[in-house]
Structure 1
Amino acid sequence: MIKVGIIGGTGYTGGELLRVLYNHPEAEISVVTSRSNENKKVSDVHKYLRNIVDLTFTKTDPRSVSECDVVFTAVPHTKAMEIVPRLLDSGIKVIDLSADYRLDFEIYERVYGVKHKDKGRSAVYGLSELYREEIRNSSLVANPGCFPTGAILSAYPIVSKGYVEQIIFDSKTGISGAGASPTDNSHYPNMAENVIPYKLTAHRHLEEMRSILKGVRVSFTPHIVPVIRGILTTAHILLKKTSRLEEIIELYKKYYKKDPFIRVFSDIPSLSYVRGANFCDIGGFALEVENDRLVVVSAIDNLVKGAAGQAVQNMNIMFGLNEKTGLFYPGISP
């Protein structure tokens, strides 16, 4: 049995890790920490876990998870780098859900505006479908951001063939992507019956996309829409040359044929198909021949495949389990 610790268990991602891991047949949640809710019962904060998770939040201290085999760090950006070195030095494997280890350190410092305190640390980018073998042998996995997960997976097969000149990602995200603390954009009167574009050309996740989709010009604009969960990404892929649509679809199916959480189909994905599940649905393939533009749509649950589910998928790979373990169930529809 894998002993699991969660550092930062009070937010949406921490709660989702608890929900997903509770029914995992090979994992035991040993410790959940929280700075703001120390000594409170988990079920008093995450009330949907009443009579299910019988744990109490402990102090956020690496020593509290010293008996764990793996720790998920679900903490704000800039905080993980203060915790991760001590965990690794103790022989604990770490899956970090912040951005602290996703980027080259120079890019991280430019994008996040802070000095990195753990420069030189080697981490594997935890996009399971692309870096499975590297994840298998790693002690530190940098779990991808939610927007990059859906975006990169929607474009990578055709990018890998060298067919792409430029990609413009247009993403619509549910309100939960902003976290549990209220903001102007998540305030109901501002959000209801509305679509709010933000950070039109300068979202932090853009550099993450560019770092994986190398050799291709990448642009990205996110929008908040009045749903709770999910990210629907429309990828406008500008090709170097025209290809037949049937060949492109077959390329995607072949590329992802061994990936249990990628579903490729011809119709347009829906958020309701992936809500609460770890799937990334890819479809809606359309080709605008006169402009050499391919359109591909992806759908994920931002809290599952975009965060906690993918993190558990990475844990499965790191510990030699079937990566579907504890994760292979359908979404909630309608």
Structure 2
Amino acid sequence: MFKKVYKFNLANSVRLSEPKLFYTLPINFSHNYSTKSTVIQLLNNIGSKREVEQYLKYFTSVSQQQFAVIKVGGAIITQQLNELASCLAFLYHVGLYPIVLHGTGPQINELLENEGVEPEYEDGIRITNPKTMEVVRKCFLEQNLTLVTALEKIGVHARPITGGVFEANYLDKDKYQLVGKITGVNKNPIEAAINSGYLPILTSLAETSSGQLLNVNADVAAGELAREFEPLKIVYLNEKGGIINGSTGEKISTINLDEEFDDLMKESWVKYGTKLKIKEINDLLQHLPRSSSVAIIDVNDLQKELFTDSGAGTLIRRGYKLVNRNSLSEFGNPDLLRNALLRDPEIKSGKLSVASYLKFLEGINFKSYGDEPLEVLSIVLENGKFPKLDKFLSSKTGWLNNVTDNIFNSIKKDFDELFWIVNENDSNLAWYFSKSDGSFAKNGQILFWYGLNTNEVSELIKDFDTSSIGSALASNVFTNGQQKRGYHKRAYSTKKVALIGARGYTGQNLIKLIDNHPYLEISHVSSRELEGQKLQGYNKDNIVYSNLQPEDIKKLEQDKKVDVWVMALPNGVCKPFVDVIDAVGNPDSKIIDLSADYRFDTSGEWVYGLPELNDRSKIANAKKISNPGCYATAAQIAIAPLKKYIDGIPNIFGVSGYSGAGTKPSSKNNVELLQNNLIPYSLTDHVHEKEISSQLNLPVAFTPHVAQWFQGISHTINIPIKRESLTSREIRNIYQDRYHDEKLITINGDVPLVKDISNKHGVIVGGFAVNSNQDRVVIVATIDNLLKGAASQCLQNINLSQGFNEYEGIPL
């Protein structure tokens, strides 16, 4: 029923320029099928279910007329009519009725040129003589009818309103002729249309009291509508999709006028139409409730702007001025300060009380930064050798409105050098990295800094390393998990990795990953077949394969030459090596086994290393980690979220590329035999069937196959569920909610393909097809067996075990 034009995975994100997701409704779209629930399901494709429900509730909290005013540029009707109509259809079918006003500038110019009339402008205003007005009126009527017709064809009731709304006087009759200045807005035609269930589609033609038509700038007319209706959202659709910073060439994400307007007006690139537009918007918002905002966006981003936290284009709002304070007495409202401090994780957990922290502040020099309502609060301590950012706490509103960036920029103006400490498990580390010159990690804490020279950094790290700086507090300031990653050079101490049995495909991929990892080095590689040969694909050092025996490993372990032992050996082979490492008793070294030998451990000594489903803290603190199997990883991720709904035995049809059979020649990696062929094997009791069942505590049936491609696995999984318990959309929502913060798991409504996962470091889960009896769902999962199925997952476990960021060295 819907033609998909662009499709990207859009999770919650900050206000960044991102790919667009948009659905075009075909011309024969039937209103009978355009139910509210269907459209809400489609809206869920551009954001989470929580976001869509949150914004729908927000928008329906006011009268229908107060939802939004949308100003449409004339070029959009000509160039993007289908997209515009589809955008408005989405809103209409969820019961939202924006007031739509369109311009027609490009069409007017074209008609004037065809009739040999040269357009004339004065101060950016079109001089409208009677001949030009004839063309203007004709264009407005044609474009209005074009949009209304397009909407009606896809089941949207729309009402053309081409007059009777704007009352005007001549702006300057001698100078501009038939150009008007709006003196009043008649709401009745608009309200009548909405009350009858029609979208009002307006032109910006105005009339004098005697009935003379006057031409009015569409932006100005949209502003007058907004003043009259005081809508929650004011949207300007244009071709650029926002305001472009003339210095950087980048789209501006957010403008908080109360804080930024004066400085913005001084920018050299803010001139002509851009300056006029910002001034008009500033004047408009000064007369509207502070909750109102203006969004300048591309038509394809309309739903994303309205229904996601990330928004799109340029968001302009009043915001609040920033306030600096140097003492507790300057906080006029102590309850406001207490509420802001309650966002701090240590205070929330009970480790620290608000009263004790306020007492602490009384005896030291500090400087605080915040907006007027303290949606964001930062506190910089000035007592030490270097200033320390001790608190940076924000509400969701403060983050979404970009107040956090404004405050950090204000801090940088006052402090040329600064350091701060963040818990390494903070899901928004990328923001901290983007603000820093460097960082150093230890014991789950990350020290950040900017502006310090090499000697000062060394001194700071030394103090941090000996814990004299004090414990860090985790920050809740940045609550959006879809920030783009911004890794900077960090001063982690380098860890040594030894690979035992490194000749196979998994070993080769792990070597490549470690070669690009900033804090890992290979110290030893062991392979009986390759002994004496140079390690290929590793550029950090000249490493030669050795054939390490248990006694050699024991000596290396006693001398503490290795931080991480990776056992990349066939099943049933690594026990002697593990035993000698255990016997030495070095508490700091870690073992990660890539075989199946310890995946069924019942002693409690081994932790199963699937971070997305297991407790990450247990993996980080474990001495011995069993790396999951490739088939098993994808299957568990694909089944786990539905466990409580399952009513029977899931059946897994798995197909792998022949790299999964290893490098030792066999029928399963015989390229000639695999040509135009599919080979099933281990039809029952495969080791991965046991692994999946034991980890999920749920019996499954698994049949593996090998195909003619090299790497990548596809699972088609039939899962019996309780009858009539879930729809396809509800199931997808369950998965999106479960894996919302997982950077290596993608939830996709489409069926994922092997070619899309090959050489990628994650799992894609999709399909979510429910049968007609609603007692079975089919889910498809893909994974690269050599990467997330082995090497990448091993690197996740190494990173966790060494206190690095879990995804360090894994291309995202």
- Could you say which TM-score interval applies, normalised by the shorter chain? 0.7 to 0.9
Superposition map of 1:230-249 within 5 A: 230-242=712-724, 243-249=726-732
1:54 to 535, 542, 545: 542
Distance 1:147 1:207 in 2: 11
Superposition map of 1:144-293 within 5 A: 144-159=628-643, 161-214=644-697, 216-242=698-724, 243-290=726-773, 292-293=775-776
Secondary structure at 1:233 match in 2: strand
Distance 2:745 2:521 in 1: 27
Q: 1:79 corresponds to which residue?
A: 573
Distance 1:151 1:53 in 2: 38
Instruction: Report the AA paired with residue 628 of structure 2.
Output: P
Secondary structure at 1:321 match in 2: coil
Instruction: Report the AA paired with residue 515 of structure 2.
Output: Y
* Structure with the larger RCO, 1 or 2 (CA within 8 Å, 6+ apart): 1
Secondary structure at 1:176 match in 2: helix
Is the 2:511–2:538 contact (alpha carbons within 8 Å) kept by the matching residues of 1?
no
Cα RMSD (Å) = 1.7
1:26 to 512, 516, 519: 519
Provide, for residues 115-152 of structure 1, a one-character-per-residue CA deviation record: whole Å limited to 9, x for no partner.
xxxxx461011111111222111111000111101111
Secondary structure at 2:649 match in 1: strand
Q: 2:504 corresponds to which residue?
A: 11
Query: Over alpha carbons, which structure has the higher Rg?
Result: 2
1:164 to partner: Cα distance: 4.1
1:162 to partner: Cα distance: 4.4
2:620 to 120, 131, 136: 136
1:51 to partner: Cα distance: 5.9
Provide, for residues 24-69 of structure 1, a one-character-per-residue CA deviation record: whole Å limited to 9, x for no partner.
11111111111222221122xxxxx276763101122314643111
1:217 to partner: Cα distance: 3.0
Distance 1:74 1:324 in 2: 21
Q: 1:39 corresponds to which residue?
A: 532
Q: How many residues align?
A: 308
Q: Find out whether 1:90 has 2:576 as its counterpart.
A: no
Distance 1:205 1:233 in 2: 13
Instruction: Report the AA paired with residue 156 of structure 1.
Output: A
1:93 to partner: Cα distance: 0.3
1:272 to partner: Cα distance: 2.1
Distance 1:98 1:299 in 2: 21
1:187 to partner: Cα distance: 1.5
Is the 2:727–2:774 contact (alpha carbons within 8 Å) kept by the matching residues of 1?
no
1:188 to partner: Cα distance: 2.1
Distance 1:16 1:53 in 2: 17
Distance 2:577 2:760 in 1: 29
Provide, for residues 268-314 of structure 1, a one-character-per-residue CA deviation record: whole Å limited to 9, x for no partner.
11222222221101111111131611011111100101111100011
Instruction: Report the AA paired with residue 495 of structure 2.
Output: I
Is the 1:31–1:65 contact (alpha carbons within 8 Å) kept by the matching residues of 2?
no
Q: Find out whether 1:323 has 2:323 as its counterpart.
A: no
Secondary structure at 1:165 match in 2: coil
Bigger shift: 250-259 or 314-323?
A: 314-323
* Identical residues among aligned pairs (%): 36
1:76 to partner: Cα distance: 1.0
Distance 2:637 2:730 in 1: 18
Bigger shift: 302-311 or 317-326?
A: 317-326
Distance 1:199 1:260 in 2: 33
Distance 1:142 1:103 in 2: 9
Secondary structure at 1:277 match in 2: coil
Distance 2:685 2:543 in 1: 40
1:241 to partner: Cα distance: 2.9
Distance 1:244 1:319 in 2: 42
TM-score, normalised via structure 2 length: 0.37
Is the 1:22–1:53 contact (alpha carbons within 8 Å) kept by the matching residues of 2?
no
Q: Which has the higher helix share?
A: 2
Instruction: Report the AA paired with residue 94 of structure 1.
Output: I
1:87 to partner: Cα distance: 2.0
Distance 2:598 2:655 in 1: 25
Distance 2:577 2:647 in 1: 39
Instruction: Report the AA paired with residue 760 of structure 2.
Output: A
Instruction: Report the AA paired with residue 147 of structure 1.
Output: Y
Secondary structure at 1:185 match in 2: helix
Distance 1:97 1:147 in 2: 13
Is the 2:749–2:767 contact (alpha carbons within 8 Å) kept by the matching residues of 1?
yes
Is the 1:34–1:57 contact (alpha carbons within 8 Å) kept by the matching residues of 2?
yes
Gaps of 5+ in 2: 1-493
Q: 1:116 corresponds to which residue?
A: none
